[in-house]
Every structure is written in structure tokens, then in C-alpha cells.
Amino acid sequence: MEEYLKSALEIVKAQASVRNMTDEEITSMVKRLAGGIREISEGCSASESAPGLGLDPKKAIKEKTVTCLECGKAFKVITKKHLGSHGLTPEEYKEKHGLKKGTPLVCKALQRDRRKKMKEMRLWEKKAQKAAK
């Protein structure tokens, strides 16, 4: 039996001794842990994709939240200040996680609300009126 599988079994055994687990939970946890331990032991650390999160960047932007792929915290907007705490600019963050340059780091509901508000304000018409004067 490979070392990573032994380690995964020990972890799951300890977890099962603390709480009741179904056979499916035990099997699933062993598979997940063994795979993670194997990746780390082979040098393909999880920090290269999303540090220990395993979150798909496309799924990080949801209806009411956007999840930081660096720390896993959920926000409505990922700010420059927050990204600065990880030592990244928004551009570096997007490049690191394979997001398009124009992708807003804002939840979908807030994007929709902002777009609607801007359409209601009709700033392009006001600008054209000032230019005509």
C-alpha cells in the first residue's frame, strides 16, 4: 500500500473515531485525501492552482458572492485592498487564476444592479448635450 493511502486512512480513522460516518463518507474522504496527499508528494502542490481550495475560477463568481481564490473568503466585491493582502494586483490575480482581463471581481447580482443603474442614469446622453452646447 502506498504511503499517501496509508496517511489518508489514518486521518479518516481519526475522524471516524470522533463522529459517526457512513461508509460513503469514509470512502469519499479517503479518496479525496489520498489524491491530495499524492499531488503534494509528487510536487504538484495545490497552491499552484488555488491554494488548497480546488475551486474552479469560473465557479468563483456566483450570484450573491465572489470567492477569493487565494484565501477562500466570500465577498460581494474583491477589492484591490484585499488582493493587496495577498501581494497581488487585480491584473496579477486574474492572470494567475486564468480569468479574462475584463472579468469584474464582483458578484453577478451586484453587476446586474450597477448595469441597470447606469442605464437609468443615461450619462452618455448628458455628455452629448454638454458637448453640443
And the C-alpha cell for 114? 450597477
Task: Please compute the mean of the pLDDT values over residues 62-82 and round it to a whole number.
Answer: 92
- Residue 3 — pLDDT band, cuts 50, 70, 90? confident
Are both 65 and 39 inside the same structural domain? Answer: no
Tens-place pLDDT, residues 78-121: 999 999 999 999 999 999 999 999 999 999 999 999 999 999 99
pLDDT value, residue 49: 42
> Is 78 in the same domain as 16?
no
Instruction: Decide if 49 is inside a domain.
Output: no
pLDDT at position 45, please? 42
Are 74 and 112 found together in one domain?
yes
Give which of 72, 129, 119, 115 is closest to 97, Cα–Cα. 72
**Spatial contact of 89 and 123, defined as CB atoms under 8 Å apart:** no
Summarised one tens digit per residue, pLDDT across range 4-38 is 788 888 888 888 888 888 888 888 888 888 888 87
Q: Calculate the alpha carbon distances from 88 to 21, 70, 92, 131 in Å.
A: 40, 10, 6, 39
How many H helices and E strands in the chain? 6, 2
Is 50 or 1 the better-scoring residue by pLDDT? 1
133 found inside a domain: yes
Range of the domain at 24: 3-44
Handedness of CA 17, 23, 25, 31 (dihedral sign): positive
The neighbour count for residue 107, using CB atoms within 10 Å, is 21
Could you tell me the CATH number of the domain that includes residue 119?
A: 1.10.10.1550
Q: 34 by DSSP, 3-state: which?
A: helix
Phi, psi of 71 (to 5 degrees): -120, -15
Do 112 and 131 belong together in one domain? yes
Q: What is the pLDDT of residue 113?
A: 95
pLDDT the model gives residue 5: 83
Residues 31, 60: one domain? no
pTM of the model: 0.53
Q: What is the pLDDT of residues 46-64, one digit of tens each?
A: 344 444 456 788 889 999 9
